[in-house]
Amino acid sequence: MPGGAVGPVSTGNVFKTGLFPRHYLWAFILVTSLFFLWGFAYGLLDVLNKHFQNTLGITTTQSTGLQAAYFGIGYFAFSPVAGEVLRRRGYRFTIIMGLCLYSLGAILFWPVAKSAATSTNKNAVFGGFVVCTAVTACGLASLEISANSYVSVMPPIEIASLRLQFSQAFNGVASFTGPLIASKYFFSDPTSKDLTSVQWVYLAVSGMGMIVAVAFFFTKLPEVSESQLEELIVGGEHKQKSIWKETRCLTGAVAQFLYVGAQVSIGAFFLYYTHDASGISDARGSQLLSYALILFTVGRFVVTGLLSVFTAPAILFVFAIVCSLFTILIGTLHGMGGVACLMMIMFFESCMYPCIFTLATHGLGHNTRRGAALIVMGVSGGAVFPPMQGAIKDAYNARVSFFIVLPCFIYISLWAAYTWVLDGRQIFALKSGRSAADVESGSVASLENEDRDKKSAEVEVQTETVTKL
């Protein structure tokens, strides 16, 4: 097939074939828990913006320093470092490193929040929180690179998109769990004007991270070596290829950058839209945002099932086209019709991150881990698009500002079509009765057959020699 790589297609009924070999079960559970951790941390981020404005008296513009630290320092700047660590030291080491940074950043919230009670320099206190957020984000970037990559390269490789979609669904669960918990502890009357609640919430976050780190420390995580990844490449043509010559991966990184920029912008300007387009109060708008996030989470579970029937490029293409149409409606409709479209677009964007990740990193061989770091760097799009959308909103209105995400979804649909062509123009998932155990035992059997063939050949040579003598 074009590109010389085995396409990441599904293999039919995943409930029959299995998501992974049996001995990967505990590793899969642990790695999937990481998706919940960073979803929870991200869910707290937007809530902290408003809480810091209330307690520290900072401006809205200043509060976006949290997003700049989270996406800019954590994901854009630290992702290449984490990718190199992953390449040199493996998945287990990188995950434990990420959890330690995550927990360190979270525990540092305690002394910074404590100092807010006595310090008169509120800007310095907020600067401390920005540093804490940056450290936490460095840990999260390490976890995203290693966890996304590990779930993608688990055998059988054919259902990588489906498996990652399932794990990412728990990220969606955490994305609305975080704000629900924060709304109770950050904005309740006794704690709405101080930062005591921040200390305790992040102490719990730090403790949760350390518990998972200890679990990984005592777990023998099955590694997938780069030599094994090379075996997935037909003809071995990638062995001497630089990551900067991997067109599929590079264009995929752009797709991820645009997707995350669009996703963050849609969430960040949701309340502005509901107020401007329909006159909905912020309280009611917050409820609708929670419902939209639930739709996002439901979408990931739904797509997990769809990937057992259709290929990832086909689903990504259709969903990106639907998002493009919804974007046009959001920018043109007034009233609840536009709000309904704004909520539904979150359902259809739910498949994009995991599908883009697996499609962009598949077939990279020894470049798989560096490619994973490159794709995760695309998360930095979340720091670029919201300010641009804000400028458009100030110049026009909230409805018009949503047109900024239209080119993002159009590019993603074109990129999905490009990967669809590379992977053999398959719309439906390949039907296969092989289970994950069969894939694993098949690999062992093929190695045994290869050894048997070699021994037979040696015996034939020896027999020939004796006959001649």
Contact by Cβ (8 Å): 342, 325: no
Question: Is residue 239 included in any domain, yes or no?
Answer: no
Residue scoring higher pLDDT (284 or 247): 247
Segment 301-329 mean pLDDT? 93
pLDDT reading at 445 higher than 50:
no
Distance CA 14, CA 163 (A): 9
Contact by Cβ (8 Å): 96, 209: no
Number of Cβ within a 10 Å radius of residue 122: 15
Is 443 found in the same domain as 417?
no
Is 340 found in the same domain as 365?
yes
pLDDT tens profile 260-305: 999 988 987 888 888 887 888 766 777 788 788 889 989 988 998 8
Is 365 found in the same domain as 447?
no
Distance CA 70, CA 240 (A): 35
pLDDT reading at 48 higher than 90:
no
Question: pTM score > 0.85 for this model?
Answer: no
Is 302 found in the same domain as 187?
yes
Q: Cα–Cα distances in Å, from 221 out to 45, 179, 263? A: 31, 32, 33
Is 12 found in the same domain as 56?
yes
Is 442 found in the same domain as 369?
no
**37-71 in b/e burial notation, b at 16+ Cβ within 10 A?**
bbbbbbbbbbbbbebbeebbebeeebbbbbbbbbb
Distance CA 342, CA 345 (A): 5
Question: Is residue 151 included in any domain, yes or no?
Answer: yes
Domain range holding 453? 435-469
* Number of alpha carbons in the 13 Å side-chain half-sphere of residue 8: 31
Q: Which amino acid is at 45?
A: L
pLDDT tens profile 139-163: 989 998 998 888 888 877 777 778 8
Residue scoring higher pLDDT (269 or 339): 339
Is 439 found in the same domain as 428?
no
Is 28 found in the same domain as 73?
yes
3-state secondary structure 182-212: HHHHHCCHHHCCCCHHHHHHHHHHHHHHHHH
Question: Is residue 268 included in any domain, yes or no?
Answer: yes
Question: Is residue 219 included in any domain, yes or no?
Answer: yes
Vertex 371 angle, CA 369 and 376, to 5°:
100
Domains in the chain, number: 2
Contact by Cβ (8 Å): 49, 179: no
Structure tokens at 227: 């030599």
By CB neighbour count within 10 A (0-12 exposed, 13-18 middle, 19+ buried), where does 80 fall? middle
Structure tokens at 461: 């040579």
Contact by Cβ (8 Å): 104, 139: yes
For 86-98, the DSSP string reads HHHH-HHHHHHHH
pLDDT reading at 348 higher than 70:
yes
Instruction: Tell which residue, 55, 24, 118, has the closest CA to residue 435.
Output: 24
Is 464 found in the same domain as 428?
no
Question: Is residue 238 included in any domain, yes or no?
Answer: no
Predicted confidence band at 2 (pLDDT cuts at 50, 70, 90)?
very low
Is 333 found in the same domain as 193?
yes
By CB neighbour count within 10 A (0-12 exposed, 13-18 middle, 19+ buried), where does 343 fall? buried
What CATH code is carried by the domain that includes residue 417? 1.20.1250.20
Question: Is residue 242 included in any domain, yes or no?
Answer: no
Question: Is residue 345 included in any domain, yes or no?
Answer: yes
Is 284 found in the same domain as 375?
yes
Q: Which amino acid is at 331?
A: G
Is 441 found in the same domain as 420?
no
